[in-house]
Amino acid sequence: MNQTDTAHEATLRRLRELDRAIAQHAQWLARLNRQLICGGAGAIDAGHAHAADVADVAEDAHLRCQLGQWLHGPGRDDLGREPGYDAIEIAHQSMHGIARHLLGRQAAGEPIAAEDYDALVAVAARVRQLLRRLECDLMERLGAVDKLTGVWNRQAVNLRLAEEIERVQRTGQPCAICYLDIDDFARVNENLGQRGGDAVLKAVAAFLAGRLRGYDTIYRMGGEEFLLCLPATDLDQAGPLINRLRDDLAAEPFIVEDRPTRLTASFGVVALEPVFFIDETLERVERAQLIAKTQGGDRVCVWHDVWRAPEAEPEPPGNSQGPVEEG
């Protein structure tokens, strides 16, 4: 293994460890919120708390949680010189200080002030923001940004969608995923050449970025294929949204070397569901896109997964999933 490959493997390992630390932080925060809301006064003093809850009221609580052990151990060894690392440690310690204060008031049977709880939420969000920024820096170093278009590339998909799945689980907010493939892109390359085709792809990426929200995410999956991640969007909202995008794309005269080029694309849309692995989600959304493609292109296919409650009438034999055309 050469030096470049060794550095690549080291960055991948650090990303995996960082992603695990972020997940552990989310679990700790969920447990803390449950303790603050449901734990009851005096639980810790009465000796009925979980060992982790006892650790949370210790003076060195920030060193006892899993994230803290990573930050002050392997994380510092590997990433301690990264910009912003010290800020993560400071924010993390501050978060635990506020948590200790809130748990102490709860144990004493005293009310928790709204401004104190808001301070906890704010600093916890700051910790998460700093961790994600560090993750993005490592991903860019790994080569997770498409050099041609400037959007995320396929290497970034798993890590970024894992973050969105965590958000769906934590907030209950929906998230839609859209896979689009430009129709008959071989014709574009034939007419404009490779450089012209690359210019069109750059223009398409800019077009998508200009019409999506600031918190939506764009990935180039390869060639003329893109993936869109649309947080806080259910399938009923995604269908019309992507249909407008399809119409706008077909109406846009992409100018390359003073020559207007018209494009259409085939779109598949699915919900990002925590019950599916990321690879399964990608297979489902690509399948929806292929249905749109085989029906002539310039279409949107929204794939609905039909779930029935146990008390519902038995479903007739057949496929419980089905596409719905939006245009």
pLDDT at 313: 35
Residue 212 DSSP one-character state? S
- Phi, psi at 178, each rounded to 5°: -125, 130
Parallel/antiparallel/unpaired status of strands 217-222 and 152-153:
parallel
Residue 147 covered by a domain: no
CATH of residue 159's domain is: 3.30.70.270
Same domain flag for 263 and 165: yes
All residue ranges of the chain with pLDDT < 50 are 1, 3-4, 41-49, 51, 306-321
Same domain for 225 and 279:
yes
Enclosing domain of residue 317? 152-325
Residue 261 backbone dihedrals phi, psi, to 5 degrees: -125, 125
Residues 179 and 102 in one domain: no
Same domain? For 213 and 321 the reply is yes
Same domain as 163, residue 292: yes
- If asked whether residues 205 and 125 sit together in one domain, one would say no
Cβ-based neighbours of 303, under 8 Å, separated by 6 or more? 268, 269, 270, 284, 285, 287, 288, 321, 322, 323, 324
Number of domains in the chain: 2
| Residues 218 and 193 grouped into a single domain | yes
pLDDT digits (tens, 9 = 90+) for 260-299: 899 999 999 999 998 888 999 999 999 999 999 999 999 9
Residue 208 structure tokens: 């998508």
| Closest to 99 measured CA to CA, from 162, 158, 41, 28 | 28
Q: How far out from the chain centre does Cα 34 lie?
A: 24
- What does the pLDDT read at residue 284? 94
* 118/256 same-domain check: no
**Looking at the structure, do residues 62 and 119 belong to the same domain, yes or no?**
yes
**pLDDT at residue number 118:** 95
Estimate to the nearest angstrom the gap between the alpha carbon of 79 and the chain centroid: 22
Q: What is the pLDDT of residues 81-98, one digit of tens each?
A: 888 899 999 999 999 999
Which of 83, 117, 142 corresponds to the end of one domain?
Answer: 142
Residues 131 and 231 in one domain: no
